[in-house]
Amino acid sequence: MDRVDHWLSCIKEHGYRLTAPRRAVVDTLATSNHVLSPFEVFELARENYPRLGLVTVYRTLEKLEELGLIQRVHRPSDCQAFVTAFKGHQHLLICQNCGRVEFFSGDDGMEELMVKVGERSGYRIKDHWLQLFGVCWECGD
């Protein structure tokens, strides 16, 4: 699997060690296109590496986030779930049922809107979030 290898290289390049627990977490997240909570990662990764501890999952997620390989996703119901991060600014489309995630780029007038709202409000705009929620083709309606 390509992305798994990339993540493992990235971990190594940054001076962190390659260990079985880390491989298990990476395998789980890098091959999923669903939003996963720390506990879900723990459960899935344990199928391949039963000795895995939840604490290690937290610590590994922290590193993967720091390396920019995963990003945190906020949803109405929870805010501690993660997905693969994409380069550049990408907006998220999340399935409310199964957590499947698609990315789409902001080829909309987002920059323009930020400038406009900034002027009107007197705020210095730094960042923005755009997320769409829906039901994916597999979950039906």
Task: Write out the residues near DNA by the rule CB under 7 A.
Answer: 12, 15-22, 37-39, 49, 51-56, 58-60, 62, 80
Does residue 141 bind a copy of itself (CB under 8 A)?
yes
Beta carbons of 120 and 134 less than 8 angstroms apart = no
83 forms beta bridges with: 71
Does residue 17 bind a copy of itself (CB under 8 A)?
no
Report, in Å, the least distance between residue 83 CB and DNA.
15
Q: Which is nearer to DNA, 22 or 100 (CB)?
A: 22
Report, in Å, the least distance between residue 103 CB and a copy of itself.
10
Which tokens go with 106? 């902001």
Beta carbons of 27 and 48 less than 8 angstroms apart = yes
Is residue 48 left, alpha or beta, with left meaning phi > 0 and alpha meaning psi from -120 to 50? alpha
Q: Which is nearer to DNA, 14 or 116 (CB)?
A: 14
- Binding mask 99-138 toward a copy of itself (x if CB under 8 A, else -) reads ---x-x---xx---xx--xx-xxxxxxxxxxxxxxxxxx-
Number of residues that bind a copy of itself (CB under 8 A): 34
Q: Rounded distance, CA 28 to CA 64, Å?
A: 12
Q: What is the DSSP letter of 15?
A: T
